[in-house]
Chain A
């Protein structure tokens, strides 16, 4: 996954280089921001890694600095139900060939929806502090909870 090439600012928007910077009032009428380099065809059938994103596409930016908690993904428990994929508001769950591969930490804002919709026991996604180490989190993953009898 691409990270901002030219660094990030507080809102997670990549700063353009000084020579490229154009003020909003200098933009002429009818100007077009192209999402892709060159002629983009058949985008609906191209995976993200096959696309030639332009610098104007927010895919090339990051909002990672919004996050104070982050989801950590445990492949061993995941059943590939894709609940997290369909309800992720930030297109941050990466799934290929019906399998979940992981989390795009450049676009994730840490809302925690993926953890809430995860149906496994224990959950295969859990929220940890942004400073936490993923390996340590996986090592200390909670055990299966027994159902309480009423």
Chain B
């Protein structure tokens, strides 16, 4: 059941952690903030599958596990497959009455990084969404393959420096646009799709509760600031995430039944994207005079996207 005491932070702090410390994620990593916010918002039994990625390699280093729930890792691409198969088996055994406790609520959750969600596990995720299993897929989007040294993924935004899309005298970093995964998942007709951020803990917890409650495949994209590859000081993780949501680089919104769009956070003062870019080492080269057009392009993309989201919300179609 969803934990009801998330009205304010004090009440939320009475929940018990099911994601333990002494995992090996970097100091200041947003992955564990997200996982804690999600897991503390429910007291259901969880069956969790993880794709290969930072979260998986850092939380299950033999002989340790940081998970107080059932947890499985198979391969780079198939957390969605593992979760959907576990869900199908659970359903079958429930029908046959062979479970130890037939009424115990069990929810199925899959975690993946952006590399395994946007690129490598895309086919498997799409398949699981299409088959309509009752599970929730959570993408921890740090916009590169951070676990293997910061290669470019299709979630990397325009202008970012990565080890395989380097900025220098002939290039300004990644030239291609970021894939709009939320729209793709909504196009699957999923009952609940959202983009959330850990600095807005309440919308995060509520979004996750909603995703667990709704029957059918749900997808949540979360922005996960990466101190190592975005190149900022570990203490600034929440500050950077605030900038990401206030510059609308990461708008926070949900799409219900593939068409009904709700914006969950409207910044009071919309900041210029320079504030967000300037705070990170991976965008440092954009402030050279010859790269000014890239910043302009990023700002234009953000403005267009925000306009699009607002109109979609208004139109209710």
- A contact set with B: CB distance below 8 Å: 11-13, 16, 22, 24, 27, 33, 35-36, 40, 43-48, 51, 55-63, 66, 80-83, 85-92, 95, 97-98, 104, 106-113, 115-117, 127
Q: A89-B28, A104-B21, A109-B27 are in contact. Are A56 and B235 (CB under 8 A)?
A: no
Kindly list chain B residues whose C-beta atoms are within 8 Å of the C-beta of A87.
33, 198-199, 201, 237-238
Chain B's closest residue to A90 (CB) is B21
Chain B's closest residue to A98 (CB) is B10
A91–B36 contact, CB under 8 A? yes
Binds A, one of B62-70, B139-147, B159-167, B282-290: B62-70
Q: A61-B22, A87-B198, A91-B20 are in contact. Are A33 and B65 (CB under 8 A)?
A: yes
A56–B28 contact, CB under 8 A? no
> How many residues does chain B have at the interface if contact means C-beta atoms less than 8 Å apart?
50
Kindly list chain B residues whose C-beta atoms are within 8 Å of the C-beta of A91.
17, 19-21, 32, 36
Kindly list chain A residues whose C-beta atoms are within 8 Å of the C-beta of B23.
58, 90
User: Which of the residues B18, B43, B64 comes within 8 Å of A56, measured between beta carbons?
Assistant: B64
Kindly list chain B residues whose C-beta atoms are within 8 Å of the C-beta of A82.
9-10, 12-13
Q: How far is the CA of A111 from the CA of B62 in the complex (A)?
A: 24
- Chain A contact residues: helix, strand, loop or mixed: loop
B21–A112 contact, CB under 8 A? no
Q: List 23 A-B residue pairs with CB atoms under 8 Å apart, sorted by A's residue number.
A: A16-B63, A33-B64, A35-B65, A35-B67, A43-B68, A56-B64, A57-B64, A58-B21, A58-B22, A59-B66, A61-B64, A62-B22, A63-B22, A82-B9, A82-B10, A86-B36, A89-B29, A90-B23, A91-B36, A98-B10, A111-B27, A111-B237, A116-B239
Closest Cβ–Cβ distance, residue A115 to chain B (whole Å): 7
Kindly list chain B residues whose C-beta atoms are within 8 Å of the C-beta of A83.
9
Kindly list chain B residues whose C-beta atoms are within 8 Å of the C-beta of A16.
63
| Contact bitstring B1-36, A, C-beta under 8 A = 1, else 0 | 000000001111111111111111101111111001
Which of B20, B44, B62 gathers the greatest number of chain A CB atoms within 10 Å?
Answer: B20
| Contact bitstring B25-65, A, C-beta under 8 A = 1, else 0 | 10111111100110000111000000000000001011111
B21–A35 contact, CB under 8 A? no
User: Which of the residues A60, A80, A112 comes within 8 Å of B235, measured between beta carbons?
Assistant: A112
Closest Cβ–Cβ distance, residue A114 to chain B (whole Å): 9
Indicate whether B234 reaches chain A with its CB closer than 8 angstroms.
yes
Closest Cβ–Cβ distance, residue B280 to chain A (whole Å): 16
Chain B's closest residue to A80 (CB) is B10
Closest Cβ–Cβ distance, residue A29 to chain B (whole Å): 12
Chain B's closest residue to A64 (CB) is B22
Indicate whether B236 reaches chain A with its CB closer than 8 angstroms.
yes
Q: A56-B64, A57-B65, A113-B28 are in contact. Are A106 and B21 (CB under 8 A)?
A: yes
